Amino acid sequence: MKIIEYNSKYDEQIKDLLVELQNYLIDIDYWHTQVMLPEYREGNFKMDMRKVKNQNGKIYLSVEDNVVTGLIIGIVEEADEVDKLTNDCAKTGSVIELIVKNNTRGNGVGKLLLNKIEDYFKSMDCKRINIEVFGPNKKGLNFYNKNGYIVRDMIVSKRI
């Protein structure tokens, strides 16, 4: 297995991974609000690619025998008006996707991808990394905790 930078020849496999993650989120969503519309596969891929292009982003893939086993997508976020008034305005890296194929999990692929994007963010002079984790995704939260991430901000929700 090797970690490589994005190559468009893997686009269909990347889309498959995005769908796999969304299906996982749907499965663990006890409120049953997560959905996957027919246009999700293409639409989410295009949205992620646009963010990468417009926000100094980077995509890394784990590939074994020409099969993508995982991916990470990171973007660099500049401070917005609220941040400029309330924070130290440090440049922040944001991981917008981290997906490891279900049958590959537990083999260190996620950690390798996370380390790779962290190195990229350091090279871009980022001072922090943010990763949004869906509340019911306890496995994901556990993984990030093991890799030195802490819960810094939270969104609380109530159904009405």
What CATH number was assigned to the domain covering residues 2-146? 3.40.630.30
The average pLDDT across 85-99 equals 90
What pLDDT is recorded for position 90? 79
Q: Is the confidence at residue 146, as pLDDT, over 80?
A: yes
- What's the chain's average pLDDT? 95
Percent of the chain residues topping a pLDDT of 90: 84
* pTM for the full predicted model: 0.93
pLDDT grade, residue 86 (50/70/90)? confident
77 phi, psi to nearest 5 deg: -110, 130
Distance CA 63, CA 143 (A): 21
Domain boundary assignment for the chain: 2-146
pLDDT one-digit tens code per residue, 48-79:
999 999 999 999 999 999 999 999 999 999 87
Token representation of residue 142: 């556990």
Interior angle at CA 118, CA 115 and CA 124, nearest 5: 150
